[in-house]
Amino acid sequence: GKGLAVLTSGGDSQGMNAAVRAVVRMGIYLGCKVYFIREGYQGMVDGGDNIQDANWASVSSIIHRGGTVIGSARCADFRKREGRLKAAYNLVNRGITNLVVIGGDGSLTGANLFRLEWSSLLDELAQNGKITPEQKQKYGVLHIAGMVGSIDNDFCGTDMTIGTDSALHRIIEAIDAIVSTAYSHQRTFIMEVMGRHCGYLALVAGLCSEADYIFIPESPPKADWPQRLTQQMSQERSAGQRLNIIIVAEGAIDRDGKPITAEDVKKVVVEKLQQDTRITVLGHVQRGGNPSAFDRVLGCRMGAEAVLALMEATPDSVPCVVSLDGNQAIRVPLMECVERTKAVAQAMAEKNWELAVKLRGTS
């Protein structure tokens, strides 16, 4: 059978295990020889025990677990050709020419580069006598399919990334818990949620929790936000509301691109309204815990589709990323999505908010 390997790279997210499981089982079902690559690209560069045979049973009892059971890592070696040369050797040596990468846009950019370089890496390995001319011939094309695992929903081309829905559940559970205590003491709570360049978690959590104010990078407030915030909050209090919830995305900024932190917001509320104000930084709690039903199903569907895409690939098909469009798992050219995601970040850095929001599309 064809050699197929799966790895998870970059930040972990809930639902990655469902995706790994689907890749392994669909691969086996279609007659592939399937491998896990542990610890992301580092495991591919280091080889040895990091690349292990996967069988049907080895992915039992993982679908309900958060994170990734095969490990993830950032890998400086893979950014250099020398590292990628070692990785290519480790794959060819095991007859692996199909690779599923589950990670963020950085991981997918690396995967694309690896594929572009593949034949020149094989040339070099053959010249050095590391692989035979037959191996070079037989394993001459590397096929790649990507899936985006990220709690931030920060990738263009898919409606949802794997992990976002579970992270939202975690955030909402936390806000609900805090609302009950805030109600008792008439407090104001400021919640900092993840999202370095993408305010999706903050925005949706805000909708779900009746937040009074939300700060997200895509829609930086005008300089007079302190006045507007305090005016709104005092109106609400005089109308009988006993608490206030303010949500600040990790990457929130003002129109000059200067960060707006939970501390900045607290200072305003305390100084202008003298309200009892507390900050909660949710941090890694958002990444933790069991994946939601949605993320499990998303992982299953995307994993299966990724393997189908690889099995149908021809030597000149471009690497795809499996995406969710409406209710369909579809294949989109990987680099198109990566480029658009980078364009969003660029537009935001240049303070082109409307363009950034437009480029981001549905996600």
Residues that bind ligand ADP (CB under 6 A): 9-11, 41, 74-75, 78-79, 103-107, 109-110, 113
The active-site residue out of 46, 152, 212, 295 is 152
User: Nearer to ligand ADP by C-beta: 148 or 247?
Assistant: 148
CB of 301 to ligand ADP, least distance (A): 21
CB of 228 to ligand ADP, least distance (A): 35
159 is known as an active-site residue: no
8 Å CB contact between 245 and 208: no
User: Nearer to ligand ADP by C-beta: 155 or 213?
Assistant: 155
CB of 126 to ligand ADP, least distance (A): 23
Which residues are 117's β-sheet partners?
none
Q: Which residue number is nearest to ligand ADP in terms of Cβ?
A: 106
- Among residues 27, 16, 270, 252, the alpha carbon closest in space to that of 148 is found at 16
- Among residues 145, 157, 169, the alpha carbon closest in space to that of 15 is found at 169
Q: Which residues are catalytic?
A: 152
